[in-house]
Amino acid sequence: MTQMNLVMVTLGVALLLVAETWAQNPRKRLAPPKPPKGQCCDEVRSLKVQVANLTSLLEELGRKQESDLMSIVRQIMELDQQNRQQEARVTEAESKYSEINNRVEIMQLQTLQSATQTSSDAIYDCASLYSKNYRISGEYKLPKDEFLGAPELSVYCDMETQGGGWTLIQRRKVGLTSFNRDWKQYKNGFGSIRGDFWLGNDHIFRLTRQPSVLRIEMEDWQGETRYAEYGYFTVGNELNSFKLLLANYSGNAGDSLRYHNNTNFSTNNKDNDKCVDHCAALRKGGYWYNCCTDSNLNGVFYRYGAHTKNTDGITWYGWHGPNYSLKRVEMKVRPVGFQP
Ligand SMILES: [Ca+2]
């Protein structure tokens, strides 16, 4: 622009000079010019040359300016286009982001739904079966549940006592199945689900991961019955030696499992009791032996009850003392919040 101004000024001066020259010779312009004197004509010629030069310079500058303007316009247009492209890219990115966001939300929703389905639809005990309208006591097969890590399992459900929904974890009634078994057998369970059996410490652990009630029903050889119920009952996993924790006794048989509270499980090949003696070997069963017993529900089945010589029978001290083996026992669990 400064260059442009300079050119304009120079051109202006040149024009002034030309005008002045013309003003000095007004007649020459009107009348047919006489042959000019050498000096004057030389000056005019030189000025004309200068004007021509300046004009061409101006024209050139004008063209340059025009081309500059054109290039600026082009640049602006290009920038504008780039801007629009970038805007488009941003819009695209935004829509992709929102699409991904939507997908994540859908996935979260699906996960939530499947989790809800698993916890509400899963059949993992007799209480769940009861709530699905299975109301007849008997043997049921619980399906394998990968979510809970539970294998397929046959269980016996008591759907009648005190509203039903009970999963049996133990039964003594026939007397032909030995309960003098090792750790692994007590861990996995043994016996016949319709007869005498131990469900298995792994299964009892899984069942009692939800807050559970334990109910023990007993019958003596005179046909009388008693029960003991614990409002809180849980068995630890194998790493914790299937430790027993229970509380809130109610019933009419006496609180003869309290003595075994907070003890580990022991078997004939694993002495986890709180005694110098090997209680499992002495009492011939697997149980939460302390030192050793106030009850021995997995003891030896003695027909007709009284066994004054031995203390290894199916005993419940709170009812018949240490020398009376019961005729029939059932241990069963159900969730604390169970609604018949
Ligand atoms: Ca011991």
The whole-number pLDDT of residue 44 equals: 87
Q: Ligand 1 centroid vs 240 CA: distance in angstroms? A: 17
What average pLDDT does range 101-123 have in this prediction?
A: 59
Q: What's the Cα-to-Cα distance from 46 to each of 54, 88, 245, rounded to whole Å?
A: 12, 61, 122
The whole-number pLDDT of residue 303 equals: 85
Q: Ligand 1 centroid vs 229 CA: distance in angstroms? A: 28
Q: Ligand 1 centroid vs 151 CA: distance in angstroms? A: 33
Q: Ligand 1 centroid vs 56 CA: distance in angstroms? A: 120
Q: Residue 144 corresponds to which amino acid?
A: K
Task: Concatenate the DSSP letters of all residues of 284-334 into one string.
Answer: TS-B--SSS-SEETTSB--TTSB-TT-S-BSEEHHHHBTTB--SEEEEEEE
Q: Ligand 1 centroid vs 170 CA: distance in angstroms? A: 24
DSSP β-ladder status, 315-316 and 328-335: unpaired
What average pLDDT does range 303-331 have in this prediction?
A: 88
Q: Is the pLDDT of residue 30 over 70?
A: no
pTM: 0.65
Q: Ligand 1 centroid vs 63 CA: distance in angstroms? A: 111
Q: Ligand 1 centroid vs 287 CA: distance in angstroms? A: 12
The whole-number pLDDT of residue 117 equals: 45
The whole-number pLDDT of residue 196 equals: 98
Q: Is the pLDDT of residue 33 over 60?
A: no
Q: Ligand 1 centroid vs 205 CA: distance in angstroms? A: 23
Mean pLDDT lowest for which of 55-64, 210-219, 306-315?
306-315
pLDDT tens-digit readout, 187-216: 999 999 999 999 999 999 999 999 999 999
Residue 134 CA neighbour count, 13 Å, CB half: 20
Quote the tokens at residue 188: 């996995």
Q: Is the pLDDT of residue 338 over 90?
A: yes
Q: Are 252 and 146 in contact (CB under 8 A)?
A: no
The whole-number pLDDT of residue 90 equals: 85
Quote the tokens at residue 299: 């003891």
Quote the tokens at residue 153: 């399992």
The whole-number pLDDT of residue 93 equals: 85
pLDDT tens-digit readout, 217-236: 999 999 999 999 999 999 99
Confidence band (pLDDT; 50, 70, 90) for 87?
A: confident
